[in-house]
Amino acid sequence: MRKLAIIAMLALTGVFALTACGKKGGDESQHAQSAKLTRPTSPDNKAAWQAYLGQILQSGDLMKGMSGDRPFVYYVSPGDDDNAQAERERQLDNITGTIARGVLPGTLLAFAGPSSSKTADLLVAAFKTAQPGSLNKVIVVYIGDKADEQRVADVVKPTGAIFRFAQM
């Protein structure tokens, strides 16, 4: 199951890289790209969600200031079954460990999934043990619903991270 999560993150990163390769300058391409955004109707269609969330991350200024060679994207599973809960627990351990070790300034961490509340819950749990100022100039992007934005921002901002929000 851990390999599946790693493969999913790599696939999502590949989607981001491919969309970045075809990106053209100017406002016309941004308007055309945002017109293509169609929210998947089924929370179980992981490939469609990853493509949709990748388009959101690539649109606008969410990646502005990123100095790393690629973003670190966490796709949060929406399910309530044992497998989905176990996957979220592994992600929580992974994220908490990453935050505890430290992240280089300019690194972009993006968090998204079909269930905004489950994604927000994961972020709140992961960042609540972070030390103030420990993520100075790290870019944290949360893609979710406006209703969950503030509680995520409240736990991320004390770390010194640059918090960015995108509406799903």
The per-residue pLDDT for range 105-157, each reduced to its tens digit, is 999 999 999 999 999 999 999 999 899 999 999 999 999 999 999 999 999 99
3-state secondary structure of 144: strand
In this structure, what token pair is assigned to residue 40? 């998947």
Say how far apart CA 70 and CA 31 lie, in whole Å. Answer: 23
> Predicted confidence band at 95 (pLDDT cuts at 50, 70, 90)?
very high
75 pLDDT higher than 80: yes
* Domain limits, the chain: 2-167
Say how far apart CA 50 and CA 12 lie, in whole Å. Answer: 6
164 pLDDT higher than 90: yes
Q: Could you tell me if 112 and 53 are in contact, meaning their C-beta atoms sit under 8 angstroms apart? A: yes
Supply the pLDDT for residue 147. 96
Task: Of 124, 107, 119, 19, give the one whose Cα is nearest residue 63.
Answer: 107
Q: What is the DSSP letter of 159?
A: G
DSSP per-residue codes, 114-128: S-HHHHHHHHHHHHT
The per-residue pLDDT for range 13-67, each reduced to its tens digit, is 554 444 454 444 444 444 444 456 788 888 888 888 888 888 888 887 888 889 8
Residue count (the chain): 168
